Amino acid sequence: MKISGPLVSKIDKTLVADLLPIAVRLANKDTNIWGVNSEAPTRLNWIDLPVTSRDLLPQLDSLSAWARSNKLNEVILCGMGGSSLAAEVIAKTYKKSLVVLDSTHPDQILNSLPKNPANSIIVISSKSGTTIETTSHFKYFVNYLKNKGLKPENHLVIVTDPDTPLDKSSRKSGYKVINADPFVGGRFSALSAFGLVPAALLGIDISLLLDDAEIASKTFSQVGSPAIDVASLLFTQTKQIFNISDSKSNVPGLSDWIEQLVAESTGKNGQGRLPVIIHSTDQIYSGISIGLSNGEFDLAIDASLGEHFIFWEWVTALLGYLLKVDPFNQPNVTEAKELSNTILNSIIRGDFKAETPVTETDNYVIYSNQKVKNLTEFLSIPGEYFAILSYLPRVDDSEALQLTKLISNKNKKSVTFGWGPRYLHSTGQIHKGGQPNGCFIQITSDLQSDLAVPGETFKFADLIMAQALGDASAITERKLPLIRIHLKNNNSALKQLIKEL
């Protein structure tokens, strides 16, 4: 690993010296580092994954051989947050084709269907085995494969913790199951079965990832530790926001994984660190910038993917210690889930009552807890950052992404972008548990299609709307500024919004 840039000269040597014994304790898996009520006692095995994940290699070799012999070369991964983000980065880094389904939007599901079902392999990843998005995807694909005249057990691979409901039901049904280490938290699971099973199915030599991570990790509790240096910089050089870019780097997409890891781990007790991903060079941003490649950044971090994974996990754990927060829990994520379930049940019963809009045009309807009539007025509200929460189909060149640059240029504020419901398992924690200074722009839409969830009384359209409204309710309860723009027609409405901005 190599760390360079102007910020290196600002490393607080006293703080680094104080952190060194903490890093030694972390290497020894001391569960008391973050306080007696921390979830650390059941979450620290990520430290050993560069070594212990080698125990998975015989299983993964067998799984890969099975996929090759049956010509299963079209891999689809269903998983939320930590169950899919690392695998997506691994695939991008090694230039492999992987379809990631981390949305409940019906159009996104339809866009994720295999081109040739007979050659498809569908990985269902859920740590808890109860994640509503992933269990809904699971039910959908079982039904889909049967309708195609295929046996689901010949195309499905399940990744989950031991003895979860998904683990038990899948084994009973004869599906291939790979168990993850239950003492590793979801967002720290890049080098566990959640990251490695899809990688193995794509033909990637995962032993190289583990080798790099193992070598790097041995330096993190020693003098000159890059993990201690960067954790100290994130603590001293910013009070909240730092900007990160993987543009032109050897690890495309890693910023999204870092965003989840840092934001969800530290965004609690009214504080935290919020990574803002720099999508383009002309995007306005404030505060320090970190690049995962050389360039004009305050700090540049050059490393292989395996090194990056274990490095950022160490940085986040140490940063949690400095901030005096438990990096292994996510209390406000659970809260949003509960609110979403309440709304979903109301939709199922038929007694859900929609709120009153503040504005309606031919293209969209606007709802807000602020006295505003349009997005432009909302952008004048004081706040440290604006967050776009898009419940639209995830597309890399989506017009919705253009709003990030337009808004940051217009109000000279940092702007984050999250695909819903994916961000609920990521930045959703810091939105509600971190500094109460965000302004939230939620985008929902009329759906052109809908899909049933087999065995359930709700459809995917009901689920994604309940998730959006549940998160909006959690934000509103905190009296944080929120505007929801409901598009009547995605394309024309987005074009109108962009034109207005």
pLDDT digits (tens, 9 = 90+) for 180-224: 999 999 999 999 999 999 999 999 999 999 999 999 999 999 999
In a domain, 193, yes or no: yes
One domain for residues 232 and 124? no
DSSP state, residue 158: E
- pLDDT tens-digit readout, 316-373: 999 999 999 999 999 888 888 899 999 999 999 999 998 999 999 999 999 999 999 9
**Based on the domain organization, do 107 and 148 belong to the same domain?**
yes
The string of DSSP codes covering 41-81 is: GGTBGGGGHHHHGGGGHHHHHHHHHHHHHTT--EEEEE--G
Domain membership of residue 43 (yes or no) is no
The three-point CA angle 496-500-501 to 5° equals 120
Tell whether 345 and 459 lie within a shared domain: yes
Do 313 and 340 lie in one domain? The reply is no
How confident is residue 284, by pLDDT bands cut at 50, 70 and 90?
A: low
pLDDT at residue 281 greater than cutoff 70: no
Mean pLDDT of 146-150: 98
Q: 480 and 340 in one domain?
A: yes
Q: How many separate domains does the chain show?
A: 3
On whether both 73 and 176 belong to a single domain, the answer is yes
CATH code, domain with 310:
3.40.50.10490
- For residue 226 the two structure tokens come to 């890059």
**pTM score, two decimals?**
0.96
Give the span between the Cα atoms of 177 and 99, in whole angstroms.
20
Q: Are 137 and 262 in the same domain?
A: no
- In terms of domains, do 351 and 460 share one? yes
37 found inside a domain: no
* Percent of the chain topping pLDDT 70: 98
Boundary of a domain, candidates 146, 179, 209: 209
Instruction: Indicate whether 342 and 459 sit together in one domain.
Output: yes
Among residues 303, 323, 343, the one where a domain terminates is 323
Q: Does residue 188 share a domain with residue 225?
A: no
**Is residue 429 situated within a structural domain?**
yes
48-62 mean pLDDT: 97
Give the domain extent around 194: 48-209
Residue 10 has which token pair? Answer: 């600002």
Whether residue 475 sits in one domain with residue 422: yes
What is the C-alpha to C-alpha distance for residues 85 and 91, in angstroms, rounded to an integer? 10
Q: Taking residues 85-91, what's their average pLDDT?
A: 98
| Statement to judge: residues 335 and 450 lie in one domain | yes
Which of 280, 307, 323 terminates a domain? The answer is 323
In a domain, 162, yes or no: yes
Tell me whether residue 272 is in a domain.
yes
For the stretch 58-71, what's the b/e string if a residue is b when 16 or more beta carbons lie within 10 angstroms of its beta carbon?
A: ebbeebbeebeeee
The whole-angstrom separation of Cα 314 and Cα 231 is 8
